[in-house]
Structure 1
């Protein structure tokens, strides 16, 4: 057993890796009225479906302030006279305009309640515009806390980015800040000092020279996008162009790097980007945003999965800032941030959890995508070694599933434990072609859609023909591992059962027979003969690399209970 000192050091090194894009306050089970207002889809929020945003802001870098507006176009899903949108209360609402009139409103914490002069009828298309200003929340440790990241590059020039996963997009712009409602398309207009550029999601439509030495950059997103992915990145950028021929044709690729890094950036970014697109299209299907292109944008923070404009801050190094948390060496063969954040383009951006409680869907599959990348280039055993090596960072401190309707995600184990769980599901299915079809099928079935726990587990269960409900219940909704309890009777017969919290927990597991090969044996929560002869207490062995479970081999007697 490793010493406690070594274990603590290992966790300290691993923590940034499995905390990448970690959500603020994820360890806190307490919630407030403000959390409920943001996390609950009340009738004042479900009464309208957002179709289009035009976010139009000017960034005052010296004063760390913003001012502008957001046009919110929507379809009424019910008759209503009042609705809620969201904007953090440290930002001022200058006024709200509706058909030339200013609307009355009330604020409670970060929620804004707007009253309309008439009933908005179900099915009608309408819009209002929110004008606002102020100093948005500063991110002191982006991306793990949220807000604006105000930095200076090595040449003394401003270098600014946003990152707001978990905290909420309403920390810097007014919107319906709930993951269940992704806007269909969006125009992002950002005015910055003319010596700098702004890079946002989607494709650059135009630039406009403004008075006072400012230039406005207009970026259009043609596909649905979740709010926390909307980003601005301001800096002295140089654009390096690339392309990739993938499953849907030619994909435009752009790298926006600081001018000081233009000579060393292209080869590193191009190799890693094309490798990950090749591997993940193989496993998950076509990159989901061909219409909007693929971008990597250099940031001072480590990274974030901003859709079609991935924030990149790994300093052109392989591994995670040069480290491999798995200890296998495979993690240092590729750039962690490019691979992990690109994986989110499928799980997180294409398939988006409706509620923050289900963020395990984003992180579990995306952590698993790292091993799939390794498998594509280095083989299946290398991928399994990587996942097994990552286990030392798992804490089993809290469930992966968070608290619904109050803006609370689950344990940081959603990364490493989630990836291990996906490998275990694959092992149980025991058909790699079927498993590959399931991964691609998820991205087809839920293409550009929002999902919840039941959607994902239900799809895997139906597509595999195996009831995975008790397995996901135990690994996602409980913090502890199921324990395989085994005993031998006086005649040497082996009996086993699962000790687990999940209702009627049943799961197959691979047990090594006397020939050295593994047999898959389905075990329930009741003691039953395992049906493998010739094993002893000392020779009993399970497939520890592919099954993450507890094991208790008991004395040679029948337990009374």
Structure 2
């Protein structure tokens, strides 16, 4: 998901309303934040294997009702299970082996007492019945929930979006990023005049003549993160295509409102360009079994796995704007490129804790510049990523607070992408850089990860210690300044506005001569030619420069 500057304030307001309280410059977290954001004892003992989510959507009352079958493997003996469902939704009944179980609610967490002995290695399931009016999204996808809308013909046009806020805003789920089901079935009952589009492949449409409804059954054959599960309901037209990719034939399916069919057929041709570029940079599309879909929705868009949602009005740029200010951002449809880029970073490689959401957003924002580079050349891509610096705020660290469902600064997008581009500059080996990006998606295929794993992987494969860079750019909001002075044919330099341990190789220009210097927070010096009065930093470094007298 992308958060442009003009909506960051709305997003923060929504997040704070969920549980985090602000006191001065410090965040105060509640018990509910801990229950949501930590691996509690009631979560830790069981490994999620499979969901079957089955719901009926009732637009007249803006409500849903249904069940979720949760299949799991017992990792250690324990008799209480935590399932999350946010108010005002209600769990009404829980069954295990047809026996009704007792449970109690603590805010948005339900604790179910299991009567059957939970033995290590057993594969068990519970079936959870629930209903209610889920939170309505006011400014989707940033505040999350259900969007209840109408198309121009008066038909219901409905969609879900819930990153950050959490999937438990509309269905009962183990709502923590660390554990994903290995597969999932999604069954959605809607009016027989409409269609539901969800994740994975459509396996069956069941007609319910008495109720004048249809149930759409979708199957996801790969692990899927909670917020990636979606429901999209509308009077859709469908068209399809195939892409001959690195793992063979990939099915492409497109669902748009009927009046937009011709526009979509033209605009969505960019899907193949996106796949060509990203399979080059990142390796095979991670979900061949589930196919790739673009689905029109009544909001801007979101990276729902194998069911990417789209609302960019069939135009290039971000709603027609170039977020880089360079002109390159108008060469592609931002939502197709950015949100589909998340199939590799967010859906294939998923953070275990939302505090590490930079793994999703920094790499995906960087993918925009890689798309430009693939089709228009390296310098075009470099211009694009440098142009995005105008959006950087340096307001707080990019990594959030662990264990309380707290993401870090919105700078995870373009400060993060500029950090990655800078690391590429330091590596100075594009073949190694390409192999590392592809290696990430191969070696962490379908995994949930922590920041440390990604940091270590990059350092090991790029063959230099990048930890000081990550500490500086992810864990502080300070941008290092290269402070220098020239005196009697000596260049002296150091970093200020930096952690004491910060160090980095920097490419500079001394007159007409290119030079790489190793900079720390302590003064260093080198001999230079007499006529050199100033230095320049390679523009692909995101840092400051200050000459001292």
Same-fold call, TM > 0.5? yes
Give me the whole-angstrom Cα distance separating, in 1, the residues matched to 2:248 and 2:419.
33
Give me the whole-angstrom Cα distance separating, in 2, the residues matched to 1:132 and 1:25.
25
| Shift in CA distance, 20/434, structure 1 to aligned 2, threshold 3 Å | farther
Measure how far apart 1:15 and its partner are: 2.0
Counting only pairs closer than 5 Å after superposition, residues 72-221 of structure 1 correspond to structure 2 as 72-210=70-208, 211-221=210-220
Counting only pairs closer than 5 Å after superposition, residues 208-287 of structure 1 correspond to structure 2 as 208-210=206-208, 211-270=210-269, 272-287=270-285
Give me the whole-angstrom Cα distance separating, in 2, the residues matched to 1:217 and 1:20.
34
Give me the whole-angstrom Cα distance separating, in 2, the residues matched to 1:381 and 1:17.
30
Secondary structure of the structure 1 residue equivalent to 2:346: coil
TM-score normalized with structure 2 length: 0.95
Secondary structure of the structure 2 residue equivalent to 1:488: strand
Give me the whole-angstrom Cα distance separating, in 2, the residues matched to 1:21 and 1:383.
29
Quote the residue 2:51 is aligned against: 53
Counting only pairs closer than 5 Å after superposition, residues 321-400 of structure 1 correspond to structure 2 as 321-400=319-398
Quote the residue 1:507 is aligned against: 504
Secondary structure of the structure 2 residue equivalent to 1:120: coil
What are structure 2's unaligned runs of at least 5 residues? none
Deviates more, 1:142-151 or 1:493-502: 493-502
RMSD: 1.8
Measure how far apart 1:290 and its partner are: 0.4
8 Å Cα contact 1:23/1:409 also seen in 2:
no
Is the aligned partner of 1:549 residue 2:543?
yes
Aligned with residue 25 of structure 1, among 12, 15, 28: 15
8 Å Cα contact 1:188/1:200 also seen in 2:
yes
| Shift in CA distance, 196/166, structure 1 to aligned 2, threshold 3 Å | same
| Shift in CA distance, 430/126, structure 1 to aligned 2, threshold 3 Å | same
Measure how far apart 1:42 and its partner are: 1.4
Measure how far apart 1:522 and its partner are: 1.2
Measure how far apart 1:451 and its partner are: 0.6
8 Å Cα contact 1:470/1:503 also seen in 2:
no
8 Å Cα contact 2:489/2:527 also seen in 1:
no
Secondary structure of the structure 2 residue equivalent to 1:208: strand
Measure how far apart 1:501 and its partner are: 4.0
1:48-90 alpha-carbon deviations (Å, 9 max, x no partner): 1100000000000111000000000000111111121111131
TM-score normalized with structure 1 length: 0.93
1:512-545 alpha-carbon deviations (Å, 9 max, x no partner): 023x242221111211114544464x422111x2
1:425-482 alpha-carbon deviations (Å, 9 max, x no partner): 1000000000000100000110000111101100000001100001011000101111
1:377-415 alpha-carbon deviations (Å, 9 max, x no partner): 001111111111111111100111011110010111111
Quote the residue 1:558 is aligned against: none
8 Å Cα contact 2:479/2:498 also seen in 1:
no
8 Å Cα contact 1:474/1:500 also seen in 2:
no
| Shift in CA distance, 296/527, structure 1 to aligned 2, threshold 3 Å | same
Secondary structure of the structure 2 residue equivalent to 1:62: helix
| Shift in CA distance, 535/467, structure 1 to aligned 2, threshold 3 Å | farther
Give me the whole-angstrom Cα distance separating, in 2, the residues matched to 1:496 and 1:119.
67
Secondary structure of the structure 1 residue equivalent to 2:401: coil
What are structure 1's unaligned runs of at least 5 residues? 1-12, 556-561
Number of corresponding residues: 538
Give me the whole-angstrom Cα distance separating, in 2, the residues matched to 1:22 and 1:252.
38
